[in-house]
Structure 1
Amino acid sequence: MKMAFISLMFIVLCWSDVSETTEPACSSFNYEEKLLEKMVRNEFKMEQALKRIDDVEGLVIRQNRTIQGAIGTLKEIEARLDSKLSMSKTGATFIRWGRPSCPHSNNSLVYNGIAAGTHYSISGGGAEYQCLPADPELETVVTRADYTSNIYGSEYQTHGATALSSLADHEVPCAVCFTNATTTIMIPARKTCYSGWKLEYQGFLMAERDIHATNKQYVCVDKDAESAQGSNPADTDGALFQFVFPTCGTLKCPPYNSASALACVVCSKI
């Protein structure tokens, strides 16, 4: 290859010298010097070109390593995101009493319906309010039994109250809500959540009247409570919701006050 290159250069230089002078330059020392000089220059250029090729090749290798590292980082980030998304699919539920919808856009409604429970005048039955769905699927296998426990719809008992009195004797709606928080809590006698907790909704602490034959769990009824769809103010009783007032004595006043009904909040935490 090298000999062919030298022969080619020899022919080119001869042709050049013949065109520029009438003397047969191919036989002179001047031609050999020029040939050698051009060969050295070309060899130097070749070395420079090879060096550039090596530099480019090294750059490509480094960039390839950088790209591979970036791909690895992206895969790691993707795995972390998948993990977080997987975690976000877990969460907690809470019941919003007094409203048929969930309080925040990041909540999802599981179902809504009407509050229900044991009739206020009955000493047996369940002790908790239930949020019965608006679209029940009835059990048709059991249509009769000798001994039963009956459940009733609920009503607000807010007659003469300084809040929600317009809802007296109306049925109570409810909504079961899902949040991506890991836990929820109802805090009685608070209007705000403690540090680190997110407010889902604020309301009034309510329960069955304490002189009734039955009792119910304390629940937090939304401060902007509504009547259930299709509700009317007919006094049909059932499971009842009354405001809860603290009694001074074993409860210290202050900070409590027997003239002020208890507030409540439902809070969540991630």
Structure 2
Amino acid sequence: MKVLVIKCGGSIIDELSPLFFESLKQLKRSGCQLVFVHGGGPDINTMLAKYEIEPVFEKGLRKTTDDVLNIVELMLAGKSNRSIVHKLTLNGINAIGLNGSDGKLLAGDFINEASLGAVGEINSVNTELLYMLLDKGLSPVLTPIAITEDGRKLNVNADMAAGAVAKALDAYSCLFVTDVKGVMKDGSIIEELTERQTQDLISEGSIYGGMIPKVETALSVLKKGINEVMIVSGKESFYNNGQFIGTKFVSEQEVMN
């Protein structure tokens, strides 16, 4: 089974274009099975503001008290997930939305409960359940909510959750859907980069601003043992006539081979 894991950030969900969905349909027709993991940062921040709760981040991770966790799960499972599933269904993708904690799809541990609260990392993925859904022609859409052995829910960074799912399913690629086509230089997409090449582009200023965290996230997921990671656009076509359009990140070893 050829599995592709696709991570959609919360900020891109409302901007996904018809061309993006056409790329998904082409991938399905080519025999790919699609699994989605999504975030929901903007929606979560909006709801926190309504409750006058100030968002707190430490090293990019949202400090998650019990009150924050309730809002995180409400917005991820009740809004962001519903929105993506609806859009996929309207565009001919037979999708099913699931909370990551359902059926222990995503099992995890606390990272540092004392300083971060209910923030976790994934230690196992219920691949049997995911494969069963894929076998039925369904594309799972997962929230990055994990559950501990004793039943406590955890807020997981969506990028890292996508990476964990991709590794567990031995996906051939993990796509990060953003508002850009990929890493650009002199007006053209750089189709493939290693970590060393990426760091060189950052040093020389070719990768700058908001693109830096995007590529650093891709590299951090690649280091988890994923075959390859790509940055692609959700605003236009990212796959056409059997070719991906975006920047692929590969390990130095992969290039040497």
Regarding TM over 0.5, the answer is no
Q: Which has the higher contact order (CA 8 A, sep 6+)?
A: 2
Give the shorter-chain TM-score range.
Answer: under 0.3
- TM-score, with length taken from structure 2: 0.23
Q: Which has the larger radius of gyration?
A: 1
Query: Which structure has the highest helix share of the two?
Result: 2
